[in-house]
Structures are given as structure tokens and as C-alpha cells.
Chains A and B, each alone.
Chain A
Amino acid sequence: MTEFLQLLIYGVVFGGIVSLGAIGVSLVFSILRFAHFAHGDLMTVGAYLALALVVGFGVPVWFAFPFAVAGGVLVAVGIDATLYRRLRRTAPVILLISSIGVALVLRSLVHLIWGPATAVYQTGITLPIRFADLRIRPDHLYIIAGTVLLVVLLHLFLQRTRTGKSMRAMADDPDLAQITGINTDRVILWTWVIAATLAVAAGIFLGMDTRLQPTMGWHLLLAIFAAAIVGGIGRPYGAIAGGMLVGITSELSTAVLSPSYKPAVAFAIMVLALVIRPTGLAGGNLLVGRR
């Protein structure tokens, strides 16, 4: 029982990180109509921007957080303005190819600047908090709290603000949204701001949970896409549910499966979702039309 609860805590932490990435992928997928393959590497960039501040100025990670977010947003908006915007006239799949290239460029840049070695924000050992036989790392509590806070803020943004409402409208039906006079450029800009903010947060949380390395985000991409598909494309709340499902199942699977097959669990969940219910838990948009 203790082992189960312990794995459940790891699952919630991992699921939260995956959810933050999946919300962004899901939003970009529904508004710009392409699978953004550079999302994992955007997380990596965010994590390393925070590392630069932590190492360079000796500030704690939570202090570096807003600056890393700002940097990540600039990177995402910059990539959209220089590449994706020009390619939007062509087929969405060209954007997909371009984003794979962007993923490799971002990862190569991180590799070039910070080198291939792993890094951590904080050296030394922090003692876990004990509840009976359960041990909880303080970092994990911060990650869970941060994830909850970001999700609540996102919820308020999507439900209460005008931009948030236009965004949901565009995700539901882009043509209808456009004829009702929604400013698409503005919605796209906000999509990148939100997606990049959540991606940087996920990257930093991942760095706190494990360690930083140039391929950290890329390796999470499969889990993120699985979560977005399981939750339903264009459904931010579905993405959270999908992320939690993928995260918790992956961690619990280590009780019976060899941990080296953990990434395969996310894939298995995604294949099941595609076979049984391709629209996802929350009944998202099924992207069937091929051009």
C-alpha cells in the first residue's frame, strides 16, 4: 500500500508536468492545426534559461521562473513570426516538418551553449518530509502547487477574459469564429504566449524533479502527445486529465514492468485511445480531414 501511494505521488508530479505540456500542444493543435513537435524542446530551452539565471546570479529557482517564462515566450513568438507565420499559407503538414526542424535547432543550440552534460538547479540533498512510511520531497510539493496554480490561472483566463473566450471559440470552430469577427492574429499570439508559459513551467518542474539535459524535453514529447490525444485535441481540461492518466499509469507500471519500458506505457495508452475513442476523453476535435 505504501509503495502504491509512493508511486501515486510520483505519478501526480509527472502527470502535472505532462499536463502542462499537453495543454500547450492541444491548444496549438486546435488553433493552428498542426502537431507542434518543437514543444518538448521549448521546455528544454525554458529549463536552461532558468539554469542560466540560477548559476549566473545565484538566485533561487522560483525567482528565475518569471524571467525564464518571459524568455521562453519571446522564443516561441519569435519562431512563429519568422517561420510558422510564413508557412501558414501552405498545408499544415509543412508546419509540422518545420517544427521538427525547429526542435532540432533548439536542442542543438542548448547543446552548443550549455554542453551535453547533465545539470541541476540545486546541489546537495534536501531531506524528504515523512508521513508514516511515505516520503515526500519538498520539490514535489512545490511542483504540485505550481501546477495547480497555473491550471487555475489558465481556467480563469479561458473562462473570464474576452481573449480566452475567443480562443475557445476558435478551437471549436475556426470558420465560425472568423466570421464572427474574432481577431485571429491576436488569438494566435496569445496561444503561443500561453503554450510557451506552460512549456517553460513544465521544463523547470522537470528540471527540479530530475536533472537538466539537452534531450530532456524531446524524450517527454511522446507522453505529451499521448496526453493531448487521450484528452481530446483542443480540450485543455481533457489534456489535464490525459496528462494525469499518462503520468500516473507510467509510474504505477514500474511496479510490474521494467522501468526501462516506461515511455512505452504512454504510447500504449495513446494507441488504445486512437483505436477505441480517437476523439479523446473530452470529445475533442477529431482531425480526420486530410487536406
Chain B
Amino acid sequence: MDPLLVYAVFFLTLVGIYALMVLGLNVQWGFAGLFNIGIAAFFSVGAYTSAILTRPESHEHLGGFALPLAVAWTSAMVTAGILALLVGLITLRLREDYLAIASIGIAEIVRLVLKNEEWLTNGVRGIGGIVHPFADFSRGTRELAFLVLVLGLVAIAYLALERARQSPWGRALRAVRESEVSAMAAGKSAMLFRLQAFTVGSMIMGLSGAVYAHFIGFISPEAFDPMYATFLIWVMLIVGGSGNNRGAILGALAIWVVWSGTEYLTNLLPADMVTRASALRMLLVGLLLQVVLLTRPQGLLPEERFVNRRLARRETPKTKTGNG
């Protein structure tokens, strides 16, 4: 196959995996206003769950289940969801800052466990030889088939979340986000809705981790740098447009293009600077975030505003300039 095509397939598969994570974050932050910066925790729990469940017997780590892929990916979502439920029960009563702080704590603890519990995860050496779902296919078609699978998952997640956003459930989440008091006055349990949104978002992140593990075939505690990757996903959502599912996917694509583009640029640097290139790339993305926050905080595709049809009709003749 054409090397350019091979690269394009690889590139788009990664965009798809990131898009899944950004969609998951969009449920939490975009829909419900929940501040999770422990994405790495849910991602790696999903990745390790699926890897361990599908691997054959090994003396290096827990294994020998050799379960089919569909079961492993579902289990990855379930374990990530259970973790989210535990974190959510403690922090979701309080203001978003507490969840933010607790979520970096969870990410750190998950990383420590993966690194130190060698019987379970083989420690820093990681788990290799994770089965590829299309291992029997020829080279090239294998990668292409995986891309189709990932894009299929993104499409399913997008359609389901788009449906959820327009449903009464999505409306209740936005109500809780905008004003907890009035949502509760309307008989909605803010805590319950937040817990649901947090769990659903984390399950999608867990799935994305599982997909990543089977795409790369190897996973280690350092494979997914907790802060850099989490931050990148946040930038993707904010640049794309929080609250907008299409924005989430667009943001994943746009920022991954920028991120890969800066890698191309830093490769042009003199050799002694290359070790510091990742810092330079992060610096640029950090500055990009500040510019977006200052100049276009709603992102490329802003959240759609929902106004009751009757209210909208009544308002339009009177207030043409008002934004509601």
C-alpha cells in the first residue's frame, strides 16, 4: 500500500480513538458541567481490563481468560463505569473544583497501581501482544478494517449521544448544569443526573482505552502520559465547542492535525533541541488554549441553544436583537 495511505489510516484511527474520548468528556463537561481531568484513569482502566481479559495465560500478569473481544470491550466499559460511580458518589455533591481535584487524585492512584501491582499488570514493563481483532487479514486490510471499526464506534456514540442530548434526559442535564436550584425545584435530582452523566462519559472513555490497547497491541503505565493526553482532550473539546457533539469530533480532528503538525515542525529543530521538543509542543497547545478561551470561548461549533417552540415564536417579534 502507498505509505501515505498507510499513514492516513493510522492517523484517522487515532483521531477516531480521541474523538471517542472527547465525546465522553462532552457528556460530562459539555452536557452536565462536570470537571473531569482524570481522563487518563478511565482510559487506562479500560485499556488494561480489555488487555487482561483477552490475553492467553501468562506468567507475567493476570491472564488466561482469552475472552472474545466484544465481551472484553463491554467489561472495559463496565469497570470504567464502576470507578466513575465511586468517584462521583464522593465528589458530585460539591462544587466542580472538588471533582477536578479528586479526579487528578484518581488518575494518579490508578497510575501507581498499574505501575506497582506487577502480578496484575506486569508493572512498568507493560503488557504486550494484545490481540488484534483482524489479525487474520493481510497487512493493509487489517489496519483498514480496524479504522472502519473505530469510525463505526464513533458514529454509534455520536448518534446515541445526539439522541440523548435532545431527549428529556439531555434537557435535565443542561438544567442541572445551568441552575441546580431550579432543576431541583422542577423535581429533578441533581446528584442522580450528574452521577449518570459522569458514569456514561467515563464508560465511553474506558471503551476508547480498550480500542487503543488493541490498536497499538501494547500498553504500559507510561503509554498514556496522564497530564499531557488529558489536557489535549480538554483542548480538543474546548476548541471544537463544548456541548456540541459535532464540535467534539471536529475538535479531535483539528487538534490532532495541529499536534501532529507541530511534531513535523519540531523534527526540523537541531538535534540537541529534539529532546525538549515535546515541551515546546505542549507550550504551543497551552498558549492556543489561552487564546481560544480569551477570544472564542464557545469553540468552533458553539452549543445549540434550545428554546421552547412556543416561547421562541412569542419572543421573536418583540425582541429581535435580544439573545434570549
Contact of A290 with B by CB under 8 A? yes
Chain B facing A: main interface SS:
helix
Q: List residues of chain B with CB within 8 A of the CB of A267.
A: 102, 105-106, 108-109
Instruction: Please give the residue numbers on chain A whose beta carbons come within 8 Å of chain B beta carbons, in ascending order.
Output: 29, 34-35, 37, 83, 86-87, 90, 92-94, 96-98, 100-102, 104-105, 107-109, 111-112, 115-116, 214, 218, 221-222, 225-226, 229, 258, 260-261, 263-264, 266-267, 270-271, 274-275, 278, 286-291
Chain B 93-106 interface 0/1 with A at a Cβ cutoff of 8 Å (1 = within): 11111101110111
Q: B283 to A112, Cβ gap below 8 A?
A: yes
Given contacts A98-B290, A222-B104, contact A261 B276 (CB under 8 A): no
Q: List 30 A-B contacts (CB under 8 A).
A: A35-B100, A35-B101, A83-B294, A86-B294, A87-B293, A93-B35, A93-B97, A96-B97, A104-B231, A104-B282, A108-B279, A108-B280, A111-B279, A115-B275, A221-B104, A222-B105, A229-B98, A260-B115, A263-B109, A263-B112, A267-B106, A267-B108, A267-B109, A270-B102, A271-B105, A274-B98, A278-B94, A287-B98, A288-B95, A291-B179
Chain B 258-277 interface 0/1 with A at a Cβ cutoff of 8 Å (1 = within): 00000000000000000110
Please, how many angstroms separate the alpha-carbon atoms of A222 and B101 in the complex? 7
Q: List residues of chain B with CB within 8 A of the CB of A102.
A: 286, 290
Interface size, B (range) = 35 or more
Please, how many angstroms separate the alpha-carbon atoms of A97 and B289 in the complex? 9
Q: State how many angstroms separate the Cβ of B266 from the closest Cβ of chain A.
A: 11
Instruction: Please give the residue numbers on chain B whose beta carbons come within 8 Å of chain A beta carbons, in ascending order.
Output: 33, 35, 37, 90-91, 93-98, 100-102, 104-106, 108-109, 112, 115-116, 178-180, 227-228, 231, 234-235, 238, 275-276, 279-280, 282-283, 285-287, 289-290, 293-294, 297
A34 closest partner in B (C-beta): B97
Given contacts A258-B116, A267-B108, contact A97 B286 (CB under 8 A): no
Q: A101 to B286, Cβ gap below 8 A?
A: yes
Please, how many angstroms separate the alpha-carbon atoms of A97 and B105 in the complex? 17
Given contacts A96-B100, A274-B91, contact A112 B180 (CB under 8 A): no
Q: List residues of chain B with CB within 8 A of the CB of A271.
A: 90, 102, 105
B111 closest partner in A (C-beta): A263
Q: A112 to B101, Cβ gap below 8 A?
A: no
A274 closest partner in B (C-beta): B90
Q: State how many angstroms separate the Cβ of A25 from the closest Cβ of chain B.
A: 10
Please, how many angstroms separate the alpha-carbon atoms of A274 and B235 in the complex? 29
Chain A facing B: main interface SS:
helix
Given contacts A222-B104, A222-B105, A290-B33, contact A100 B94 (CB under 8 A): no
Please, how many angstroms separate the alpha-carbon atoms of A115 and B272 in the complex? 11
Please, how many angstroms separate the alpha-carbon atoms of A264 and B227 in the complex? 17
Please, how many angstroms separate the alpha-carbon atoms of A34 and B35 in the complex? 12
Q: List residues of chain A with CB within 8 A of the CB of B95.
A: 287-290
Q: State how many angstroms separate the Cβ of B145 from the closest Cβ of chain A.
A: 36
Given contacts A104-B227, A263-B108, A264-B109, contact A97 B276 (CB under 8 A): no
Q: State how many angstroms separate the Cβ of B191 from the closest Cβ of chain A.
A: 11
Q: A101 to B289, Cβ gap below 8 A?
A: yes
Q: List residues of chain A with CB within 8 A of the CB of B35.
A: 93, 96
Please, how many angstroms separate the alpha-carbon atoms of A115 and B119 in the complex? 35
Q: B293 to A98, Cβ gap below 8 A?
A: yes
Q: A270 to B286, Cβ gap below 8 A?
A: no
Q: State how many angstroms separate the Cβ of A280 from the closest Cβ of chain B.
A: 12
Among B101, B235, B238, B275, the residue within 8 A (CB) of A225 is: B101
